[in-house]
Amino acid sequence: MLDIQMLRKDLPAVVAGLARRGVAFDEAGFRALEDERKGLQSRTEELQAKRNALSKQVGILKGKGEDASAVLAEVGGIGDGLKANESALAALQERLNAFLRTIPNLPRPEVAEGRSSEDNVEVRRRGAPRVFDFAPKDHVDVGAGLGLLDFDTAAKLSGARFSVLRGALARLHRALSQFMLDVHTREHGYTEVYVPYMVTGECADGVSSLAKFRDDLFKVEGRDLYLIPTAEYPVTNFVRDTLLEAKDLPLRFVCHSPCFRSEAGSYGKDTRGMIRQHQFDKVEILQVVHPERSAEAHEELTRHAEAILDRLELPYRTMMLCTGDLGFASAKTYDLEVWLPGQQAYREISSCSNYEAFQARRMQARFKGGEKGRAEPVHTLNGSGLAVGRTLVAILENGQQADGSVAVPAALVPYLGGVERIERA
RNA sequence: GGAGAGGUGGCAGAGUGGUCGAUCGCGUCAGACUCGAAAUCUGAAGUACCCUCCGGGGUACCGUGGGUUCGAAUCCCACCCUCUCCGCCA
How far apart, in Å, are the Cα atoms of A345 and each of A141, A172, A206, A316? 17, 23, 34, 10
CA A418 to C1' B66 (Å) is 65
Nearest to A315 by CA among A335, A336, A339: A339
Residue A373: predicted pLDDT: 65
Q: How many helices (DSSP H) and strands (DSSP E) are in chain A?
A: 14, 17
Name the nucleotide nearest A376; use CA and C1': B47
Name the nucleotide nearest A93; use CA and C1': B49
Active-site position among A202, A263, A313, A348: A348
CA A373 to C1' B20 (Å) is 27
Q: What is the spatial distance between Cα A418 and Cα A370, in angstroms, rounded to a whole number?
A: 50
Provide the whole-model pTM.
Answer: 0.92
CA A277 to C1' B46 (Å) is 47
Active-site position among A37, A43, A126, A276: A276
Q: Give A184 or A214, the one with higher predicted confidence.
A: A184
Neighbour tally for A338: CB within 10 Å: 26
Q: Which residue is nearest to nucleotide B17 (CA to C1')?
A: A59
* Burial label, A387 (beta-carbon count in 10 A; 0-12, 13-18, 19+): buried
Give the strand pairing for A242-245 and A365-368: parallel
* Confidence category of residue A10, pLDDT binned at 50, 70, 90: confident
Name the nucleotide nearest A200; use CA and C1': B80
Q: Is A423 marked active-site?
A: no
Residue-wise pLDDT for A394-425, tens only, equals 999 999 999 999 999 999 999 999 999 999 87
Q: Is A361 marked active-site?
A: no
Residue A372: predicted pLDDT: 61
Q: Is A86 marked active-site?
A: no
pLDDT at residue A270 tops 90:
no
CA A373 to C1' B29 (Å) is 9
- Neighbouring-strand partners of residue A11: none
Q: What is the spatial distance between Cα A359 and Cα A377, in angstroms, rounded to a whole number?
A: 9
Please state the ipTM of this predicted complex.
0.83
Which residues 6+ apart lie within 8 Å of A21 measured at CB? A104, A106, A107, A323, A324, A326
What is the DSSP track for A127-178? SPPPPPSS-PPPHHHHHHHHT-EEHHHHHHHH-SS--EE-HHHHHHHHHHHH
What is the DSSP track for A291-317? GGGHHHHHHHHHHHHHHHHHHTT--EE
Name the most confidently modeled range: A11-20, A278-287, A374-383: A278-287
The terminus-to-terminus CA distance of chain A in angstroms comes to: 52
Residues lining strand B at under 7 Å (Cβ) are: A 4-5, 8, 38, 41-42, 44-46, 48-49, 51-56, 58-60, 62-63, 72, 75-76, 79, 90, 243, 369, 374-375
Residue-wise pLDDT for A127-170, tens only, equals 999 999 999 999 999 999 999 999 999 999 999 999 999 999 99
Q: Is A161 marked active-site?
A: no
Element (H, E) at A65: none
Name the nucleotide nearest A42; use CA and C1': B50
Task: Answer yes or no: are the C-beta atoms of A232 and A382 closer than 8 Å.
Answer: yes
User: Which nucleotides of chain B does any protein CB come within 7 A of?
Assistant: 10, 18-19, 28, 46-51, 58-60, 66, 70-71
* Confidence category of residue A172, pLDDT binned at 50, 70, 90: very high
Neighbour tally for A29: CB within 10 Å: 10
Q: What is the spatial distance between Cα A298 and Cα A287, in angstroms, rounded to a whole number?
A: 9
Residue A182: predicted pLDDT: 98
Residue-wise pLDDT for A81-126, tens only, equals 888 888 888 888 888 888 888 999 999 999 999 999 999 999 999 9
Residue A371: predicted pLDDT: 63
Task: Answer yes or no: are the C-beta atoms of A216 and A229 closer than 8 Å.
Answer: yes
Active-site position among A161, A261, A361, A362: A261
What is the crossing angle of helices A27-64 and A79-100, to 10°?
A: 140
CA A55 to C1' B63 (Å) is 28
Task: Answer yes or no: are the C-beta atoms of A195 and A236 closer than 8 Å.
Answer: no
Q: What is the spatial distance between Cα A364 and Cα A244, in angstroms, rounded to a whole number?
A: 11
How far apart, in Å, are the Cα atoms of A168 and each of A146, A175, A424? 9, 10, 9
- Neighbouring-strand partners of residue A380: A288, A356
Element (H, E) at A336: strand A332-340
Q: Is A94 marked active-site?
A: no
Q: Give A268 or A207, the one with higher predicted confidence.
A: A207
Residue-wise pLDDT for A56-81, tens only, equals 888 888 877 778 788 888 887 787 78
Q: What is the spatial distance between Cα A312 and Cα A27, in angstroms, rounded to a whole number?
A: 49
CA A361 to C1' B30 (Å) is 30
Active-site position among A163, A351, A353, A384: A351
Q: What is the spatial distance between Cα A295 and Cα A309, in angstroms, rounded to a whole number?
A: 22
CA A242 to C1' B33 (Å) is 37
Q: What is the spatial distance between Cα A187 and Cα A182, in angstroms, rounded to a whole number?
A: 8
pLDDT at residue A4 tops 80:
yes
Nearest to A258 by CA among A238, A231, A221, A285: A231
Residue-wise pLDDT for A340-354, tens only, equals 999 999 999 999 999
* Confidence category of residue A190, pLDDT binned at 50, 70, 90: very high
